[in-house]
Structure 1
């Protein structure tokens, strides 16, 4: 344990004995846009039946630069990556503090709560030759770990709400000015904080598993010496639409590290999660979908200082892995397999 970190769990221990449903306000705007150092963003992705994978960001304030804007990333079936990051003025950003209604320029997020537990989201992103106009229909109840709010030190915080752990996706995407109808499966979450995450974090893993009967969302955030090298562990398990486990009590084993020159970092080719000897899942990396050296997001002077004075080597991986999921629930044992995407971010 670390006395410098107050985790979000409702208890007992590092878990939620009672899993409380999220509210519309959880996915609304949280930060004061005028306060220095605050950051907030809404993230959406979808794996589509035509072989494309798409990612969309709506940023009140960018997690690293603090700029307002949107991002469209499209991975073509042939592996080509298209990424468009568009900056806007803070004055171009409008959002509700009561429910997820967000507008940045002509781009928007809208929600239909006709079914409050399984809502429908609509996102629209259109920037030049590229765009996403997608409707997300929830398949799993929204979730947040505990109260969704982790405290670091006396005044720093990090919030996380997973409004759509798993959703059917349908709509259109625009690629090279060509519009195509698409269907697939998707995810949406939302983060906000009031400090530079890189100051206290060495690295983190984030991902999910979609099998026939279960949905898993996980995060492993390894803090640095400033926070006693403490690991923040978060995991959700759902059976069909219902969340049945919300916990930070698991064991993680990382194996078979391999160096990637593009990202300038190593990544584990195998991740093994064990939850109280009751549930287990294994991720075995088959392919690097994306790898980046995050120093190149910085300006030239900041990049020089980060690399040569602070000795930082920040990197990013988006990985495609085969998974094996072993679950014991309600007197039954399940063994399910498939493939999934997950990420690793290194900040040190």
Structure 2
């Protein structure tokens, strides 16, 4: 599958805000990210949501993901219902997932910067240095993340669905596109300390993502001297399955490419996942072309480390209701190889590869083949 031309595909129903009036209205600068952008950005109401995300590839072979949510991703129409998730995928093959549901009064967050509390668990930082502490049952993590690449966002970071005055928002801020993570984690009575490559981003929106999006692929990785963040978002049927590619490429800590209009997204070897039934591509590619220089970034799936049907995570009565109305959302997380190839005048001049972590989020039924 090849992505259509992004500008044509949107057809006025999907836009990544980037006009001068957009920046003025949002109170942000085109290139510089302000600390308040990583603070609480949206008022709690039915349909709104917000989360702060961290992941890391650690030197002991562990992959760690920690997320602080204002409400469960499966229940966006609820009011404030804070949640924390911890996922540990260990080198010995164990996968550990912990979920903490907290009372509304356990949540507090600053609007001036990232300073989020859910009970005694804390996610805080200043766009460069972060401290994340969380404990759920017999698993605890203590993380220090120090940024190695400046905060970045795709243009304004605000993706709007529909047309004025009924536009709806999905926002995304990669506050730390790449950083050095120092992590202490505990599993039962066993304590571990290690380091690795970390990442932090922040999302929020004003209506449930299920109303706006059909699916997305998202991944990030460090490979040789390069850092890659890449996503391909497909809007819901109501927005014509319009698409938006997000892409950032940095070399030695400096962003060298982030123009989504110069990227083509493709997939290959697509088959139905045995657990969720969703179509999953073994190969996803992002090709960035600028004059006679071309970068080809290929994610090749080796394993699916998380397969979750959203309906299975709902309370019993809501689970029954969701099944009755045909709710079919799912989330999959993959590991595999990322290969980056650099071409000049179609000559391959550089190639590097590394292990990577990426995801596929599905908010509804698989698209009909004829679409």
Q: TM-score, normalised by structure 2?
A: 0.84
> Following the alignment from structure 1 to structure 2, what is the Cα–Cα distance between the partners of residues 2 and 297?
35
* Maintained 8 Å contact 2:99/2:136: no
Residues 1-348 of structure 1 mapped to structure 2, 5 A cutoff: 1-9=10-18, 20-33=31-44, 35-66=45-76, 67-111=81-125, 113=126, 119-153=128-162, 154-249=166-261, 250-276=263-289, 278-310=294-326, 312-327=327-342, 333-348=349-364
Report the alpha carbon displacement of residue 247 of structure 1 after superposing the two structures with TM.
Answer: 2.4
> Following the alignment from structure 2 to structure 1, what is the Cα–Cα distance between the partners of residues 265 and 206?
28
> Following the alignment from structure 1 to structure 2, what is the Cα–Cα distance between the partners of residues 183 and 209?
16
* Maintained 8 Å contact 1:9/1:145: no
RMSD: 2.2
* Maintained 8 Å contact 2:230/2:286: no
* Maintained 8 Å contact 1:64/1:196: no
> Following the alignment from structure 2 to structure 1, what is the Cα–Cα distance between the partners of residues 87 and 189?
15
2:210 aligns to what SS in structure 1?
A: helix
> Following the alignment from structure 1 to structure 2, what is the Cα–Cα distance between the partners of residues 93 and 308?
32
Which residue of structure 1 lines up, in the alignment, with residue 24 of structure 2?
Answer: none
> Following the alignment from structure 1 to structure 2, what is the Cα–Cα distance between the partners of residues 269 and 28?
36
Report the alpha carbon displacement of residue 130 of structure 1 after superposing the two structures with TM.
Answer: 0.6
Unaligned 5+ runs, structure 2? 1-9, 21-28, 365-371
1:326 aligns to what SS in structure 2?
A: strand
> Following the alignment from structure 1 to structure 2, what is the Cα–Cα distance between the partners of residues 306 and 224?
18
**Count of residue pairs the alignment pairs up:** 334
Q: TM-score, normalised by structure 1?
A: 0.89
> Following the alignment from structure 1 to structure 2, what is the Cα–Cα distance between the partners of residues 61 and 44?
17
Unaligned 5+ runs, structure 1? 12-17
> Following the alignment from structure 1 to structure 2, what is the Cα–Cα distance between the partners of residues 31 and 300?
29
Report the alpha carbon displacement of residue 305 of structure 1 after superposing the two structures with TM.
Answer: 4.0
